[in-house]
Amino acid sequence: MINAFEENCEEIKNVIMINCGGTLDLVELLQPDESVVFFILDSHRPYDLCNIYSENQIRILGKPDEDNEIPEYNDIFRDDSTDEEDESEGSDNENESAQSKRRRLNEEDILRRSERRKWMENRATILFNYSQYSYYGKSSAILVFEMAWNMSKDNLDMAWWAIVGSTEQSILSKVESRITVLEEGSLQAHVSRLTHRQGVDINRQQQQSIVRVTYDKDLQLALYRHWTVEASLKYSMPTAVSLRLWSIRGEQRLREVLAEMGLPLVQSRQLFRAMDLTFRQEFKQMVEKLAGKYKVNSIIGSSFTLQYGYRFKYCASDMVYAMLALLDSTTKDRQPQRCFLDTLDCLSRTNKDIVEDGIEKAKLMLHNIFKTAQSILEAKQVQKFGSLLYLSVPDGNIDTYLFAHPHPLIMLAQFALKAYVNSSRNRHAPEWPLVASAMFSAEEGTCLLVGIPPVCEDQPRSLFGKAFEQAAKNKNCYIEADYFDSTIIRLKVEERTKFLDALATLLA
């Protein structure tokens, strides 16, 4: 971000920052010319208070979060010149002796210092309470759509992009389920309005090229329409955790579930679209009947689906998995910029090949996440570090490169944490957060660390952002906070042990 701004700062006066910049003091960090204005559209929280109270150069788009209490200006910022205003008072009183004047000024100075010390202590407490947790607000995609709606510039494509943005937050557990349900209701109303506006008086030829977005009851199983039922059940986190499919008996248990559903093994191992029509039509009912028994009610839900013509039909979660896989498919020969542009192209209805490529990459990603979590859990490599859990992705594995990217490592950590808690007999296990580590660059000797909040948290707020910062300070470790999410950092491998010790001590 800093490099991009410095390379272009002489040519621009307005900067739009999407999903970045909100948590940083931009004016202090970038030192822009006074004529440059930043427009911030960021779902990361909490916002930096200097951005919130900037009078000229920072414009935060969107409404303030209802549940986020922003400190008052006078509690955080203070004009020191007011402390000196009274120093010259009384100088006109010629009858006052020098000794009594000195005594009076000393007493006033002591009072001023005492008041300032109390103000500073109160300020530190307020700042700590405001910034101690890292979390996410409303999806930036939804905010952009709402802005377009308010300007009567919205359409079904924009609504679909907002749906994909909201679904990404849900899949990665960035917001609580209550927020997701409310957003779905609002988006459903927008889809109905825009569909009606699109009109029904169209001929058959136009029907083939019209955009349709529908909202229906659906299963929250990863990519099941583009995969086999067996693979989707096995590699979807809710079913893999609840059925303990990662354990030694996992394979046998999965076969038992399929048999009880009445789905032949040969059918479950075919691509969903190649299954017999009867089984395809009855699959949802098969799963619903057994959801309660196997404690997988969370996979019963609803989803949005986009259809364009006869061949382009995907639900929102399909798009999210495809985009995450494309975004994190960087290699030595494939730069992040190329991956970003491919991910962006995934949103276009004319790029079906890119979507399909993303889905194939997503299948491989989910498969590798499951296999890695399985090996870690079976080897009991989730370790207890004080009041937190820790896992490290083994080096040397052919799939290790995948976890040098934040999203796969986060998904692995969430999987491992839920599976550990589900199989643990310790009643305090749901209260423990987890830190996951993977090799980032063997040449540079750096590793990637992510922090995951405990499973008992209703609101997915993480204290790791500030905790990472403080632990590094306590042990004089250099961390690279090169990500806009403060719960993701890079660290020298040689400093990892002492950093984790400091972190465990801090959270004890």
Query: Each residue of 398-451: pLDDT tens digit?
Result: 778 899 999 999 999 999 999 999 999 888 999 999 999 999 988 899 999 999
Compute the average pLDDT of residues 305-310. 86
Tokens 């999965």 correspond to: 254
Closest CA to 393 of 384, 499, 408: 408
Q: How many beta carbons lie within 10 A of that of residue 247, not counting itself?
A: 15
- The fraction of the chain above a pLDDT of 70, given in percent, is 92
Q: How many beta carbons lie within 10 A of that of residue 426, not counting itself?
A: 11
**Beta strand pairing status for 388-392 and 383-385?**
antiparallel
Domain boundary among 35, 66, 97: 66
Task: Tell me how many domains the chain contains.
Answer: 3
341 and 315 fall within a common domain: yes
329 and 439 fall within a common domain: no
At residue 139, the 3 state secondary structure works out as coil
277 and 422 fall within a common domain: no
Q: What is the pLDDT of residue 90?
A: 47
392 and 360 fall within a common domain: no
Query: Between 214 and 6, whose confidence is greater?
Result: 214
Q: Are 44 and 136 in contact, with CB atoms under 8 Å apart?
A: yes
334 and 405 fall within a common domain: no
**Token digits of residue 82:** 């007011």
240 and 329 fall within a common domain: yes
Give the integer Cα–Cα distance in Å for 157 and 145.
10
355 confidence band (pLDDT: 50, 70, 90): very high
At residue 389, the 3 state secondary structure works out as strand
Q: Amino acid identity, residue 351?
A: N
Q: What is the pLDDT of residue 484?
A: 86
Q: Are 334 and 277 in contact, with CB atoms under 8 Å apart?
A: no
- pLDDT tens for 91-113 read 445 555 666 666 666 777 888 88
Q: What is the pLDDT of residue 458?
A: 76
Compute the average pLDDT of residues 490-494. 93
CATH code: domain of residue 412: 3.10.310
331 and 392 fall within a common domain: no
Q: What is the pLDDT of residue 343?
A: 93
Give the integer Cα–Cα distance in Å for 445 and 437.
13
Q: Amino acid identity, residue 114?
A: S
At residue 268, the 3 state secondary structure works out as helix
Q: Name the pTM for this structure.
A: 0.89
Domain range for 481 is 380-507
Instruction: Name, of 19-23, 247-251, 286-290, 324-328, the range with top average pLDDT.
Output: 324-328
- pLDDT tens for 278-304 read 999 999 999 998 888 888 888 898 999
In the 8-state DSSP scheme, what is residue 105? H
Task: Give yes or no for residue 209 having a pLDDT over 90.
Answer: no
Give the integer Cα–Cα distance in Å for 415 and 202.
47
364 and 447 fall within a common domain: no
Handedness of CA 242, 304, 356, 17 (dihedral sign): negative
Q: Are 416 and 382 in contact, with CB atoms under 8 Å apart?
A: yes
Task: Give yes or no for residue 185 having a pLDDT over 80.
Answer: yes
Q: What is the pLDDT of residue 164?
A: 96
Weakest-pLDDT range from 64-73, 255-264, 390-399: 64-73
Q: How many beta carbons lie within 10 A of that of residue 500, not counting itself?
A: 22
249 and 284 fall within a common domain: yes
